[in-house]
Amino acid sequence: MASPAHIAALAGRTGPWPFAGAFTGTLCDDGPTGLAWAGRVTSGADLSLAWRASRLLEHPLARPGLPRADRRRALAIAWARLDGVQRELLGPNAGDGVSVLLIAWDAEGVALSGIGLEALYASDANGELAPWLAPAHPLFGLPGLTTARPMALTVDAAPSTLIAVAHGDEHDLAGVSLHTALQRSGVRR
Amino acid sequence: MTAPWVAELLASVVEADALRRAVSLALSEGRPALPLWLALADEAPDQLAALALDAHVPSSADRLDASLAVIDVLESELGPERALLGLWALANTAEERAVVRAQAAARHPSAAWNAQLVDGEASPGTAWLTASEASSSLDVICATCAARGFDAALIAAAAAQRSLHPAVALIRVHRLQAAAAAAAAALDAESRLPVVAWLAAVYGPDLELLLLDIARAVRTMEARDALRRASVDLPSVLAALAAP
């Protein structure tokens, strides 16, 4: 049975420009495999540079051509596509400030991976967010694109919407409604 | 040079109440306020501040003009906010209020209390935003205007000042239709503005619906071309821009 589409979100930072450098999207080809992502790149105070950098990361992820029925391979392809982005075009940090959550799924389950995250939330039965992974989970770590492949967490099922907090943001989303959290993440779908 | 009657009047009183009575009498007899105010500005600025904003002192035709002529002294004695809000409270007509409003905006464009001086203004906030064109606090001013609901003035300012600050301020208070109108007005005035980058940074990368509203509102070919280049991944926006 094909898994339903997932939504990945990343809570906006505090300050006047919460979504500078942010990117988010979902890719579902004809098959059962899908990919959702949410991330951001820190590019200093230049909003135009941040926008261009976010597009450089978004466009390869949004390119069609996911493998059929293989969520692990879908994740690997997503990371390989991000590896192909020219770091020097991502601003003064050259990709060191990238945080991203990737969710891939197929008929068998879900695979998650990420960089630069420190918390992951899902809504509970009351529609309020609760941590979905323990704070010290190895999925969490420092931001920045690296040549080493980030770890992947493979599960049979996962909540349809997962909201990540970027490393250093220190947002506590516990108890926040899913709707509010999505607004704070710039997800308008 | 101080007029003889003013010098005589001032010389005859030493107490504040006596001065107030003497000034009130002079103004009620039709004497102009200006020579009195100018003399008091030199000799008793504290008394001037008290008299100029005293609602019980009879008004004269030139009282507001006289007070504005010594506004530096009034502001020095009372502070800008108290001085100008005090004059605003004494303004009797729409014309007088417009004069005080313009003076306040021109002298203190960054002051949030300008937002209180909009009663009777056709498009509230216009004078303040117009005077704020060169202000480094335009973002804060726009935020105050957005919080007060001065949408029409913000949209006009976006065009006049070729600025995205009005649209950003309106997004922050969740008035997206007005924000789109302000962004379109700014883009019509200056098509090179980084509208998508700014709006994405404040609203989030899911911009399609917002850009669709902007696409429907822009008027100039240059603005449409700029929006088209920024919306290559958004078919609905491109379709709206292609519509006649």
Encode pLDDT of A69-91 as tens digits: 689 999 999 999 999 999 888 88
Task: Output the pLDDT for position B78.
Answer: 96
Between strands A110-115 and A117-123, the pairing is: unpaired
Closest chain B residue to A41, measured at CA: B201
Give the closest of B197, B203, B204 to A50, CB-based: B197
Is the pLDDT confidence value at A175 over 70? yes
Task: Output the pLDDT for position B48.
Answer: 94
Residue B242 — very low, low, confident or very high, per pLDDT cuts 50/70/90? confident
pLDDT in tens, B144-161: 999 999 999 999 999 999
- Ranges of each domain in chain B: 1-108, 124-244
Question: Chain B interface, mutation test: which of A10, A14, A19, A180, most B Cβ atoms within 10 Å?
Answer: A19
Chain B, window 200-219: residues with a beta carbon less than 8 angstroms from a chain A beta carbon: 200-206, 209
Task: Output the pLDDT for position A177.
Answer: 95
Is the pLDDT confidence value at B227 over 60? yes
Question: What burial class does residue B153 get, using C-beta atoms within 10 Å of its C-beta: 0-12 exposed, 13-18 middle, 19+ buried?
Answer: buried
Is the pLDDT confidence value at A31 over 90? no
pLDDT in tens, A96-155: 889 999 999 998 999 999 999 999 999 988 889 999 999 989 999 999 988 788 999 999
pLDDT in tens, A34-49: 999 999 998 778 999 9
For chain A, strand residue ranges (E) read: 7-10, 22-28, 34-41, 98-105, 110-115, 117-123, 129-131, 152-155, 161-166
A128: helix, coil or strand? strand
Residue B134 — very low, low, confident or very high, per pLDDT cuts 50/70/90? confident
- How close does chain A come to B159, measured CA to CA in Å? 21
Residues in chain B: 244
ipTM, two decimals: 0.91
pLDDT in tens, A3-22: 558 999 999 999 999 999 99
Is the pLDDT confidence value at A169 over 80? yes
Chain B residues touching residue A181 (CB < 8 angstroms): none
**Average pLDDT value for residue range B12-31:** 81
Backbone CA torsion sign across B163, B167, B168, B169: positive
- Cβ neighbors of A174 (< 8 A, separation 6 or more) are A121, A128, A129, A130, A131
**Average pLDDT value for residue range B229-235:** 82
- Ranges of each domain in chain A: 7-184
CB of A79 within 8 A of CB of A113? yes
Q: Does A42 touch chain B (CB under 8 A)?
A: no
Quote the tokens at residue B152. Answer: 């029409």
Pick the CATH number of A7-184 from 2.60.120, 3.40.50, 3.60.40, 1.10.10: 3.60.40
- pTM for the model stands at 0.87
Residue B14 — very low, low, confident or very high, per pLDDT cuts 50/70/90? low
Quote the tokens at residue B26. Answer: 């002079």
Distance CA A28, CA B108 (A): 55
Which ranges constitute the DSSP H helices of chain A?
Answer: 47-62, 71-83, 178-184
What residue has token string 């943001």? A169
Is A62 in Cβ contact with B233 (below 8 Å)? yes
Distance CA A107, CA A71 (A): 9
Distance CA B183, CA B185 (A): 5
Distance CA B226, CA A79 (A): 32
Distance CA B42, CA B16 (A): 16
- Max mean pLDDT range (A28-37, A51-60, B175-184): B175-184
Residue A1 — very low, low, confident or very high, per pLDDT cuts 50/70/90? very low
Task: Output the pLDDT for position B12.
Answer: 62
Quick one: residue B114, left, alpha or beta (phi over 0 = left, psi -120 to 50 = alpha)? Answer: alpha
Chain B, window 166-205: residues with a beta carbon less than 8 angstroms from a chain A beta carbon: 194, 196-198, 200-205
Distance CA B144, CA B124 (A): 12
**Average pLDDT value for residue range B56-81:** 92
Is A16 in Cβ contact with B233 (below 8 Å)? no
Question: Chain B interface, mutation test: which of A17, A51, A100, A101, most B Cβ atoms within 10 Å?
Answer: A51
Q: Does A39 touch chain B (CB under 8 A)?
A: no
Cβ count within 10 A of residue B111: 19
Q: Does A16 touch chain B (CB under 8 A)?
A: yes
Chain B residues touching residue A58 (CB < 8 angstroms): 205
What residue has token string 């009047």? B9
- Using alpha carbons only, what angle is made at residue A44 by residues A38 and A45, rounded to the nearest 5 degrees? 105
Chain B residues touching residue A13 (CB < 8 angstroms): none
A23: helix, coil or strand? strand
Residue B1 — very low, low, confident or very high, per pLDDT cuts 50/70/90? low
Residue B13 — very low, low, confident or very high, per pLDDT cuts 50/70/90? low
Task: Output the pLDDT for position B232.
Answer: 79
Task: Output the pLDDT for position B169.
Answer: 98
Position with higher pLDDT, B147 vs B11 = B147
Between strands A98-105 and A129-131, the pairing is: unpaired
Q: Give the DSSP letter string of B64-116.
A: HHHHHHTHHHHHHHH-HHHHHHHHHHH--SHHHHHHHHHHHHHH-TT-GGGGG
Residue B240 — very low, low, confident or very high, per pLDDT cuts 50/70/90? confident
Position with higher pLDDT, B2 vs B196 = B196
Task: Output the pLDDT for position A78.
Answer: 93
Within its chain, how far is the Cα of B85 from the centroid? Answer: 13
